[in-house]
Amino acid sequence: MSRSLQDQSSCFRARRAFLRKSSAITLGVAMSPWLAACGGGSNGVQYDLAPTPRLASIPNFRDIAGSSDATVYKTQTGQKLRRGVFYRSNALSSASGADLATLTSLQIGTIYDLRTTSEVAASPDRIPSGATDVNVNIYGTTAPPNGTFNSVADTMAFGVTSYQQFVTSATERANLGQLLTNMANGPSVQLFHCTAGKDRTGWVSAVLQSLVDLPTDVIMSDYLLTNTYDAALIQAQYEANIAAYGQAEADIFYPGSVAQEEWLSAALNQANTSYGSVTGYVTEGLGVGSDLQNKLKGRLLES
């Protein structure tokens, strides 16, 4: 069978509305993020931020610096990351009015859509007020790469290769370099996403976190949070695949629905092999020099 990992997520989009309506728990609450001024910051003012809201219609929405001030991520030297700067998510095509209002309250200036042209055409984003939508097609292709999956091992191997290509593909490196350049020069609050918010989004998040020397185990733990945030959708996808293709094929597809430690490790190891480090990969492979890296670090790190 030939099927892209990203395409596996499309078969259950129609079930999202059902899941939202049938859920007994309200995950998202529209709220202003700004609570109390407490001195010093990039613009002379630092704010305590409310915990990152959970959004029912955009379940994999989160802050790459951590979900709350109490659990904010810290670098190897103990410096805190700055929350409320870079958000990540799955696609915004199914965003509810309430969740769009929440995104508007976060004052997001730019949304980077990392999907291919066919993905965007099939499910265009719903854009919160005040934000600009920018498509940066990481793969540089009309549709996501396809693979032939006859076993779980095939699916896992395809994921490893796909992640390594974030490092080895000249096209993907060029597009990732353009993305980081845009993010360094962009407005103060930005969001990036692909389809499920797992692979392309997960790699970009890991690169940004690596640039500020976040411990590798924290980067991996954050990456794997997709499996918690998207648990209902992953299960719905699995059940939809059983209904559509049968149990055996659904079991083969299942690993492609899940954030896999092996895959992110493969990309990080490839960056180290090809460029000596993730920083070397960003500098040499992506063409993002020290000035732009310092801009990104300045945004990501608390003063």
The model's pLDDT over 110-161, given as tens digits with 9 standing for 90+, comes to 999 999 999 999 999 999 999 999 999 999 999 999 989 999 999 999 999 9
Tell me: pLDDT of 225 over 70: yes
pLDDT of 49: 85
Q: Among 48-52, 159-163, 176-180, whose mean pLDDT is lowest?
A: 48-52
Q: CB under 8 Å, gap of 24 or more: what pairs does 284-293 form?
A: 285/167, 285/173, 285/177, 286/173, 286/174, 286/176, 286/177, 286/180, 287/173, 287/174, 287/177, 288/177, 288/180, 288/181, 288/184, 292/180, 292/181, 292/184, 292/185, 293/184, 293/211
CATH code of 87's domain: 3.90.190.10
Range of the structural domain that residue 268 is part of: 2-300
Q: Among 41-55, 175-189, 243-257, whose mean pLDDT is lowest?
A: 41-55
Tell me: pLDDT of 263 over 80: yes
> Average pLDDT over the chain, rounded to whole?
88
Note the maximum CA span of the chain: 58
Band of residue 97 on the pLDDT scale cut at 50, 70, 90: very high
Give mean pLDDT, residues 6-26.
37
Band of residue 47 on the pLDDT scale cut at 50, 70, 90: low
Which SS3 state, helix, strand or coil, does residue 141 take?
coil
Band of residue 24 on the pLDDT scale cut at 50, 70, 90: very low
Number of folded domains in the chain? 1
d(CA 33, CA 259): 28
Tell me: pLDDT of 95 over 50: yes
Band of residue 5 on the pLDDT scale cut at 50, 70, 90: low
Q: Among 32-36, 227-231, 291-295, whose mean pLDDT is lowest?
A: 32-36
Q: Where are the beta strands (DSSP E) in the chain?
A: 2-3, 34-37, 47-49, 62-63, 86-89, 110-113, 132-135, 147-148, 190-193
Three-state secondary structure string covering 167-232: HHCHHHHHHHHHHHHHHHHCCCCEEEECCCCCCHHHHHHHHHHHHCCCCHHHHHHHHHCHHHHCHH
Band of residue 23 on the pLDDT scale cut at 50, 70, 90: very low
pLDDT of 230: 97
| pLDDT digits 0-9 by tens, 226-242 | 999 999 999 999 999 99
Q: Among 3-7, 107-111, 165-169, whose mean pLDDT is lowest?
A: 3-7
pLDDT of 4: 54
